[in-house]
Amino acid sequence: MSASDNSTPSNNAELQVYRASVLYFTADPAQHSNAYAWHEDGLLLTSAGQVVAAGDYQQLKATLPEGQEIQDYRGNIIMPGFIDTHVHYPQTDMLGSPSPGLLPWLENYVFPTERRCSDPAYATEVASFFLDELLRCGTTTAMVYSTVHAHSVDAFFNESEARNLRMVTGKVLMDRNCPDFLRDTAESGIRDTEILIKKWHKRGRQLYAITPRFAPTSTDAQMQLAGELAAQYPDVYLQTHLAENTDEVAWVKSLYPEARSYLDVYEKFGMLRPLSMYGHSIWIDDEDRRRMAETKSAIAVCPTSNLFLGSGLFDFERADALNVPLSLASDVGGGTSFSMLQTMNEAYKVARMRGTYLPALRMFYMATLGNARSMQLEKKIGHFAPGTEADFIILDPKATPLLARRTANTNSLDELLFALAMLGDDRSVKATYAAGKRVYQR
């Protein structure tokens, strides 16, 4: 299953055809009334790992070669694979660890668990489990944190490449305020990062992210070098955490008393840019939001994590008002589920708690095309335009007795999707395909 298999026409250029209801987005439903394509009786055609066409069965069947085999998924929904813009693979084994807040949770659970990745065999094993778990939940692309160990990135990308997935990760940079066993130095962190960029960025479907954990765990020297590296490699991602928790914000204020805000610390080091992804970003103000919109810096909203750790309720209304690029993310192990359906469920409730409202169509847009756009990957993934990469899932609206009963009683697509978001999880994913090949089947 290497990336190069896909370019072997004799093996893979064969047409694959799938019949089911077909859904994909073409625009943001929050901004456009005509934002999606829905074919109740639809077909998806793929070849050589790419989408050839998506549309109505009645229209497309006439274009098929005679005797073409059709995989019959009628009763299910085919849609683009989910995208998760912020998640930590080395935290898989401590997901759901109790703590009164972010900082003690990092100290007591995250750091000891990330230490285990000092063993490359463990890193490989947990990366393999993590990727299989994403696929079970219908997530085909993710923006992932590795650990401070350079080999944790190799372990992850090797497993991702073996499954031919489009994935992003990076070595965590952390040279202060952390245990010795997880500490790099300003110079070694940047040197390792540059080696990993050259080795992995754009190799097959793999993409690199420069990954300073967050401002408190990098010295000024490391932040400065990370910002310079980001300027040197403008097509490489940058990911970090921002204003997740009020204790964290106070800590940053004490470390950088001269900065206007937490975001301003990142800005001073040149880290506001397209292809940057800021996890959480709860405790920010309108000036921060304006700067993020102006610099095309995106936010990864992490509702299951923010509720679990008691971090706060993300303000969708202010973010929308100032046009900040938004995405939806699990943040496992702070998040409590790998499922983007469960992530939508809690995003919806967070919006309600703040007096706003997220329609199901918008949440499914976010988890597919919206997240692809936030990562500037919309030319490759997140929808079904011809020539895009054939990463897709088969969602079963009757996956459980309760789902079957509930979805039989919906009166619109929005209601059907809403029931899937409230009641669905990994059980709703019947199959997952990456680059046109089935990589998971329930």
Task: Kindly state whether residue 267 participates in binding ligand GUN, applying the rule CB under 6 A.
Answer: no
**Binding track over 265-304 against Zn ion, x by CB under 5 A:** --------------x-------------------------
Binding mask 127-166 for ligand GUN (x = CB under 6 A): ----------------------------------------
**330 forms part of the interface with ligand GUN (CB under 6 A):** no
Residue whose CB is less far from ligand GUN, 46 or 91: 91
Residue from 19, 54, 77, 88 binding ligand GUN (CB under 6 A)? 88
Interaction partner, residue 110 (Zn ion, ligand GUN, none; CB < 5-8 Å by kind)? ligand GUN
Rule CB under 6 A: say whether 106 interacts with ligand GUN. yes
Q: Which of 44, 51, 52, 110 binds ligand GUN (CB under 6 A)?
A: 110
Among 244, 315, 425, 426, binds ligand GUN (CB under 6 A): 244
Closer CB to ligand GUN, residue 144 or residue 377? 144
Distances (CA, A) of 335 to 81, 102, 279: 20, 12, 12
User: What is the footprint of Zn ion within residues 303-362 (CB under 5 A)?
Assistant: 331
The answer to whether 38 and 21 have CB atoms below 8 angstroms apart is yes
Residue with smaller CB distance to ligand GUN, 334 or 436: 334
- For Zn ion, the closer of residues 42 and 334 by Cβ is 334
Q: How far is the CB of 58 from ligand GUN (least distance, A)?
A: 48
Sign of CA dihedral 257, 275, 296, 239: negative
Partner interacting with residue 213 (select from ligand GUN, Zn ion, none; CB below 5-8 Å by kind): ligand GUN
Residues 175-234 that bind ligand GUN (CB under 6 A): 213-214
Cα torsion angle, 370, 373, 379, 380, sign: negative
CB under 6 A: which stretch of 102-110, 128-136, 282-290, 423-431 binds ligand GUN?
A: 102-110
Distance of alpha carbon 376 from alpha carbon 238, whole angstroms: 13
Compute the half-sphere exposure of residue 164: CA atoms within 13 Å on the CB side of its CA.
22
Taking every pair of Cα atoms in the chain, the longest distance, rounded to a whole number of angstroms, is 71
Contacts with ligand GUN in 358-397 (CB under 6 A)? none
Structure tokens that stand for 273 in this block: 């840019």
**Smallest distance from ligand GUN to CB 206, Å:** 22
Q: Which tokens sit at 67?
A: 């005797």
Count Cβ atoms below 10 Å from residue 354 Cβ, excluding itself: 13
Nearer to Zn ion, 90 or 227 (CB): 90
- C-alpha 125/C-alpha 58 separation (Å) is 46
Please select the residue that binds ligand GUN; options are 331, 396, 425, 426, rule is CB under 6 A. 331
- Residue facing ligand GUN at closest CB distance: 334
Closer Cβ to ligand GUN, 282 or 377, answer by number: 282
Residues that bind ligand GUN (CB under 6 A): 88, 102, 106, 110, 213-214, 241, 244, 305, 331, 334
Residue ranges in contact with Zn ion by CB under 5 A: 279, 331
